[in-house]
Structure formats: structure tokens, C-alpha cells
A and B are shown apart, each in its own frame.
Chain A
């Protein structure tokens, strides 16, 4: 059974600081997704990582994938308050033909002024 673990689960940081959220998963996969969720809202797709070594950047967020280590990172640069949200990574399992995503527990990020 595919397990996806994120850490930290809670992150409080000051504006302007940098930090990294980690996503580890337990079985072979070459597709990983990052989503953002605001309170009471649905999930917004941030990044789609489809191969080992993939790196994508959008604004102050950068995501990478290391399939050998079964690890993805979401790096936050010079955080601003608008980034406060819960961030989920989700992994597609090769065992199920990529049809289902398994999500981590989420990282609740609070950026303080």
C-alpha cells in the first residue's frame, strides 16, 4: 500500500524567510503533484512533476522530484502572507495505472507579518 508522508505538518514562519516542505512516499512512482488548499475551499493544482529530477518554479514556490529517494520538496522563498494555506503532495502509484492519487496529510503553513 502506498504511503505518503509530509513534514512538517504545521509550519509557522515569518515573512521574508525561506523554508522547505518534504514529501516522502513508499513505493515506485514517477508522478507527483502539489496542491494548495485555502480554508473551506477546494484543492488548487500547483505543480505536476513527471520525471526524476523534475524541477518547477512558480513565483516564490519551487518543487522538485527525486524518484530514487522517493522524495519531493516544496521550497518557499521569501514567504509572504498570501502563501498561508495547506499544501498537499499527492502521488500516483504505478500499481494502479496512475488512476488514483494518494495524498499526504498536508502541511498547514502560516506566514506571519
Chain B
């Protein structure tokens, strides 16, 4: 596609529920990133994929968070047993090659998650 596409754009869920957020990166971009942005803050790194594998998952806050990218394109961020503190905008970004090229990231519009 022309840009990074994220769905859903908005998700409201109840505490304790399971949530999946999807990201479709720019065609041809091998690197994919997930960030989380809380209100009034800068984006915080969660996880980085190079191809199908998670090259760096050190930003995932705990084991309730998991992400996959089985075919090296679309990625899904999965959050189990959601808590109110998980409420944030989840941003996906892609780049041509993680760590190489200019390293410039191209961001999607984000998925706004609200946990009641």
C-alpha cells in the first residue's frame, strides 16, 4: 500500500479482555516497529521485527504483550488480560531496512486503545 495501515483505528475494551491490533507496513519494507504513545508523551519503543523474526523485543512491558509477523509483512500486536494502564495509542512504523539506509521510520495513523 501507499503507507503504513493500522486497524482498528479505535478500540474500546473492558479490563481483562484480549485485544489484537494489526499493522500492514509499506510494501517492500523489511523492518517493522511497534511503539506506544501515551497522552502528552513521545512514542515508546515496544518491539522491532526484521523480516519474520523479532530482532529486539526489549520494550515489551510484560508477558501480556506479544507480537507476531509470520510472513514478514503484516504484524499483529496481541495484548492479553488488558489493564487500564494499557490505554494508549499504539503506533506501527516500517522502514526499508532496520539499522541500514537512513533508518527513517514511516508511521501509521495508530490504533487508539481504551481499556475501561
Q: Is the CB of B42 within 8 A of A92?
A: no
Kindly specify which of B12-20, B63-71, B78-86, B96-104 makes contact with the partner chain.
B96-104
Cα–Cα distance between A96 and B108 once the two chains are bound (Å): 23
A-B contact count (CB 8 A): 63
A window 91-113: CB within 8 A of B? 92, 96-106
Q: Is the CB of B106 within 8 A of A99?
A: no
Q: Is the CB of B91 within 8 A of A103?
A: no
Which residues of B are found within 8 Å of A105, using beta-carbon distances? 40-42
Q: Is the CB of B48 within 8 A of A106?
A: no
- Give the Cβ gap from B25 to chain A, nearest Cβ, in Å: 13
Q: Is the CB of A98 within 8 A of B103?
A: yes
Q: Is the CB of B104 within 8 A of A48?
A: yes
What are 30 A-B pairs with beta-carbon distances under 8 A? A4-B42, A31-B102, A31-B103, A33-B103, A33-B104, A33-B105, A42-B110, A43-B91, A43-B107, A45-B105, A48-B103, A88-B43, A90-B42, A98-B98, A98-B100, A99-B50, A99-B55, A99-B56, A99-B98, A100-B33, A100-B56, A100-B59, A101-B45, A101-B105, A103-B42, A103-B44, A105-B40, A105-B41, A105-B42, A106-B41
Which residues of B are found within 8 Å of A42, using beta-carbon distances? 91, 107-110
Which residues of A are found within 8 Å of B102, using beta-carbon distances? 31, 48, 50
Q: How many residues of B contact A (CB 8 A)?
A: 27
A41 at the interface (CB under 8 A from B): yes
A interface residue count range (under 10 / 10 to 19 / 20 to 34 / 35 or more): 20 to 34
Cα–Cα distance between A35 and B55 once the two chains are bound (Å): 24
A window 21-70: CB within 8 A of B? 31, 33, 35, 41-45, 48, 50
- Give the Cβ gap from B13 to chain A, nearest Cβ, in Å: 20
B113 at the interface (CB under 8 A from A): no
Most central of B59, B104, B106, B109 by chain A CB within 10 Å: B104
Which residues of A are found within 8 Å of B26, using beta-carbon distances? none
Which residues of B are found within 8 Å of A50, using beta-carbon distances? 102
Which residues of B are found within 8 Å of A41, using beta-carbon distances? 109
Which residues of A are found within 8 Å of B59, using beta-carbon distances? 100
